Structure 1
């Protein structure tokens, strides 16, 4: 069975690019962010029903991809990230978003790179971005999942992610995934 790794964090921190790059590096597949597709189609104003649909769809996409992955499955977000979006957008987290399966490891993308605007990004102002970053980290801390922070420029993020994954990866003779390492 493949190890599920989710890239978690605010907009414009390189989650999609890093998920693709890691998947190519580890010769596997990755799951894109359904929330972005939803926003491109329906707009960025979302209510609880939109967020629940996004969480369900993302969970279904991840579940469908896991058997096809080659050792690792990288996902640009999951329902925990959608829960962070819910807290930011509607002021509360629907319980259902916390009930979906959790990844084996979350990589929290630090908000230490320049925000790049596009048609679906909404929290580019410094204070809003910092608030959202805090919500993202709190979501990981309160959910009891394994996670580590990844920061710096794009190459540094990639190098840190690869090092974390390789340090935790099962050996060729091992059957498990060693997640005993403390959160970063």
Structure 2
């Protein structure tokens, strides 16, 4: 009998090593991963993003998830996910379409890995939430994970320590 695909979503505030961890886990398990879509989308805009842009990002995240799931790999690693986009909409625009909340409730994620803020924030042209905002958002992500009753583990330390901790969590899901 075919095993069910395990789905791991990586979340956390800006500059916490989410993309680095996603790539490392994909390499370790020799599986493809769903890269962060928002960053590449916003970088190519050459203007300030809008509410409609964030909606496009949300729809693409759902599309990428479904496309990856249809391939039936043993493991899916999501570098960020719709939960971050929901919070982004709420924090920046004060409104979130009901379909996003429903999609979050209906999407199967086996566990979330929350990258801790113990790595330094590194500014770049896309990042906008360092300092106290970063910590506030981190707590918002954790609160939302609890509100949706998603299992999650906080991943701390340097990049190698994070990778080892994440592998330990994923191995425990068998």
TM-score normalized with structure 2 length: 0.89
Instruction: Work out the CA distance in 2 between the residues paired with 1:113 and 1:94.
Output: 32
1:106 aligns with 2:112: yes
Report how far residue 151 of structure 1 moved. Answer: 1.2
Residue 44 of structure 1: how far off its partner (Å): 7.4
Cα RMSD between the aligned structures? Answer: 1.6
**Distance change in 2, residues 1:8/1:44 (3 Å):** farther
Residue 24 of structure 1 aligns to a residue in which SS?
A: helix
Q: 1:22 aligns with which of 6, 25, 41?
A: 25
Instruction: Give the corresponding residue for 1:61.
Output: 64
Corresponding residue SS for 2:9: strand
Residue correspondence of structure 1 range 1-184 to structure 2 within 5 A: 1-42=4-45, 45-68=48-71, 70-100=73-103, 101-124=107-130, 126-169=131-174
Distance of aligned partners of 1:32 and 1:39 in 2 relative to their CA distance in 1, 3 Å threshold: same
Q: Distance in 2 between matches of 1:25 and 1:44?
A: 37
Write out per-residue CA displacement over residues 49-87 of structure 1, whole angstroms, 9 at most, x where no aligned residue.
Answer: 222211110110111012335311001111112112222
- Structure 2's unaligned 5+ residue stretches are none
Aligned length: 168
How many Å separate the matches in 1 of 2:85 and 2:129?
15
The structural deviation recorded for 1:136 is: 1.1
